Amino acid sequence: MSDAPGKLPSLNGLKVFEVAARHLNFRLAAEELGVTQGAVAQQIRGLEAELGVKLFERLPRMLALTGEGRGYIADIRRALEIIARATDGLKPQPVRLTISTTPSFASKWLIPRLPDFTARHPDLDLHILATDRMSNFQADGVDLAVRYGRPPFGPGLAVELLFEQEIVAVCSPMLMAGRAVPETADELAGYTLLHDAHNFWPEFIERHFGESRQASFKGISFNQTSHAIEAAIAGQGIVLANGDFVAQDIAEGRLVRIFAGSMSGPSDFYLVWPRYRKSPALQTVIAWISEEAGKGRERALA
């Protein structure tokens, strides 16, 4: 007994039949298929002749499926769907990797760079897990993490320095329009200070202005650095932020540095991943992130 299928009608004719049955209009079917209306009509006539049945009633203003046509189209659609699924199954599936980051790192550093990654590596799908919670590589299915802190981060983990934290003071150029850069703590008190959860302002003021106990500072606090940066872009005050987080905003004129000096943060940013994971896809992502961090350092030194 043979498993070979019986004689099949023209597969091209069946495709044209499915489109024409969906539109019940040869002109619309021709537009979808990118052929002439006459070519559609010819394919349908040939299929009807091959099958020995009439599939459409040609009415004055429209088409209608015959009883045979209605019964046939249901099976043909199922068969075409099976062929489409089988064909999709042959295509290589993208490799998916999950990166765990803080929300601020994701929004201010990683996401703006993703178009470059997807253009260079269309075969890799990235899932960004942005959370302040320390993700677990096994339980959360994380392949690579960006951690803010100091190593060691745990046994069995590989670590690579991404960039050191350099804290800079920035604000919208609108905020400084017609105003002088503050040179004392009292002058700085005339501005709204935008705080994030790290609250670097007391140390920054002490380092840059010395004694500041007499000054009274007004401020707005945010639990996410990215929100404080967005408030600064909107002209609501001055923010202390990682230089790498605001580099693009400075380059595009949304923010300006108001002091030449900077301050080193208490922790830095590291790439962390399990040592036993050595897939080519993971190494590609690590190399790309490291390359992007290197470009940021080069721009900062330029």
Residue-wise pLDDT for 249-290, tens only, equals 999 999 999 988 888 888 899 999 998 888 899 999 999 999
- 297 pLDDT exceeds 60? no
Rounded to the nearest integer, the mean pLDDT of the chain is 88
pLDDT at 301: 41
pLDDT at 117: 92
pLDDT at 55: 93
pLDDT at 249: 92
pLDDT at 44: 93
pLDDT at 197: 86
- Contact between 126 and 101 under an 8 Å Cβ cutoff? The reply is no
pLDDT at 77: 92
Kindly state the percentage of the chain with pLDDT values over 70: 93
DSSP 226-277: HHHHHHHHTTS-EEEEEHHHHHHHHHTTS-EES-S--EE-SSEEEEEEETT-
When mean pLDDT is compared across 32-41, 110-119, 176-185, the lowest value belongs to: 176-185
Write down the H helix ranges in 52-140: 67-90, 103-105, 114-120
Using alpha carbons only, give the angle 96, 98, 104 rounded to the nearest 5 degrees: 135
pLDDT at 212: 58
Q: Please state the rounded mean pLDDT for residues 138-148.
A: 89
- Contact between 145 and 101 under an 8 Å Cβ cutoff? The reply is yes
Rounded to 10 degrees, the C-alpha dihedral 125/131/136/141 comes to -20
Q: Which of 197, 177, 212 is nearest to 265 (CA)?
A: 197
Model pLDDT for residues 53-108, shown as the tens digit of each residue: 999 998 888 899 999 999 999 999 999 999 888 887 777 667 789 999 999 999 99
pLDDT at 261: 80
Which of the pair, 221 or 90, is modelled with greater confidence? 221
CA distance 44 to 15: 10
Kindly state the percentage of the chain with pLDDT values over 90: 54
Which of the pair, 134 or 170, is modelled with greater confidence? 170
pLDDT at 5: 59
